[in-house]
Amino acid sequence: MIPAQRQKYNQEFTAEKYEKFMQELQADYPEIPFRVAETPIFIPKALKEKLIAAGNEIVSLIKQPNFKALTQNAIPAQWNVPNENDQPHFLTFDFGICKNEAGELTPMLIEMQGFPSLYGFQIHLANTYRESFDLDNTTSHYLNGFDEEKYTGLLKKVILGKHQPHEVALMDVDALNQKTAIDFLVTQKMLGIKILALEEIKQVGKQLFYEENGKLIQLKRIYNRLIFDEVAENTAIFKNSFDPRQELDIEWVTHPNWFYRISKYTMPFLDSEFVPETRFLNQVDSIPADLENYVLKPLFSFAGMGVIIDVNEADIKGIKDPENWILQRKVSYEPAVQSLDGGVKAEIRLMYLWADGEEPQLCINLGRLSRGKMIGVRYNADFDWVGGTIGFMEQ
């Protein structure tokens, strides 16, 4: 999207460079199970400023004093975790890159989460792109004046809080077998924290422990990467570890309730040029005549699961819990990233860190490229110049 950067990159690109890039990216780590794109996204200053403005509007809503009251029904009763804190520690907003009526590139909100993303891996990815493809320093993957030292310091502050690294653990169901395991490993290398599968954590009274060298070590803070939707059909797994839904002497980064509060559930409350028309399905009085221009999304799902793209009236009438669905106007992605053989659609995720008692900080980003019907990696398995990437922003 920065013409000079794109032209130079494409002219100098070779399959051999990409292969070497992937070797460097995976050196010292297990093979990455998701596709990494052949290119970063070069974001011009005008689009960067729109992304920042769009993010600011969403942050303003989240910081409203009534936000918790507004989103109380977002949390499923069976997954409401006690001792919720006053703020999330992570905010991620996904924007499709589109064209507005004036023909300018503009972001449109697709998804939002109060949950961590690849906060460690994106640094490693950006640095490897720069080294492997000999990129200049006129762009940055950081925002808001951040650099690697400042970013790493804030990430450490957010995840560790007031504790020592051995008292903090990154937790997921089967952590090292998750698709995002490389992010877990990069984060561990940066911060020195433990990576624990759920079943490696044991409960004694209200306290949580893990075993190391035959000794029990108390956990004070959990960097939570467990999405409850993933274990909804297998809650027996908690019997071999601990049930997060009870009173525990533990700090959450971030507390599980924020995953629901800041989600698709929040989108109907946003009124912005950067947010497509979104309504709770149970509040739709009449089905739109141009239903082909809408998409139907379940509130409680992840990675695009359950989304109905080509909606018809029968789909809507067949929904038994309309309060748990949204009807959203479709977003038309602009194939704005030029590959070697045509345009590719792009999505940019703005990633914020929010330390306890401080203000949210926009720090870094994540990109995804797509030629498929949807952006997610699983929908682009048979294409090249698609997959996970990062935006290099014009300074």
Token pair listed for 37: 């794109």
Measured CA to CA in angstroms, residue 31 lies from 24, 36, 125, 191, 197 at distances of 11, 11, 14, 22, 19
The ranges assigned to domains in the chain are 3-276+331-394
d(CA 340, CA 189) in angstroms, rounded, equals 36
217 in Cβ contact with 210 (< 8 Å): yes
Residue 375: is its pLDDT beyond 80? no
Residue 374's pLDDT is what?
A: 61
Tens digit of each residue's pLDDT (9 = 90 or more) over 12-41: 999 999 999 999 999 999 999 999 999 999
Most confident range (mean pLDDT) of 24-28, 231-235, 297-301 is 24-28
Helices (H) and strands (E) in the chain, counts: 9, 19
152 in Cβ contact with 44 (< 8 Å): no
DSSP 8-state assignment for residue 338: E
Mean pLDDT value of segment 154-161:
98
Strand 207-212 vs strand 202-204: parallel, antiparallel, or unpaired? Answer: antiparallel
- Determine the Cα angle at 392 with ends 387 and 395, to 5°: 165
Residues 6+ apart with CB under 8 A from 343: 334, 335, 336, 337
Residue 250: is its pLDDT beyond 70? yes
Q: Taking the CA atoms of 144, 85, 262 and 32 in sequence, report the sign of the dihedral they define.
A: positive
Token pair listed for 175: 């952590």
Residue 372: is its pLDDT beyond 90? no
The pLDDT-based confidence of 140 (bands split at 50, 70, 90) is very high
277 in Cβ contact with 242 (< 8 Å): no
d(CA 132, CA 88) in angstroms, rounded, equals 35
Residue 379: is its pLDDT beyond 70? no
Query: Exposure pattern of 67-100 as b/e (b: 16+ CB <10 Å)?
Result: beeebeebbeeebebeebeebbbbbbbbbbbbee
Residue 269: is its pLDDT beyond 70? yes
Mean pLDDT score of the chain, rounded to an integer?
94
Measured CA to CA in angstroms, residue 18 lies from 22, 129, 131, 359, 372 at distances of 6, 9, 12, 39, 21
In this prediction, what percent of the chain has a pLDDT beyond 90? Answer: 88
d(CA 94, CA 121) in angstroms, rounded, equals 17
| DSSP codes joined into one string, 73-140 | GGS-GGGPPSS--SS-SEEEEEEEEEE-TTS-EEEEEEEEESS--STTHHHHHHHHHHHHTT--SSEE
170 in Cβ contact with 196 (< 8 Å): yes
Residue 376's pLDDT is what?
A: 61
Mean pLDDT value of segment 71-82:
92
Q: Which of 390, 376, 382, 349 is nearest to 92 (CA)?
A: 349
44 in Cβ contact with 394 (< 8 Å): yes
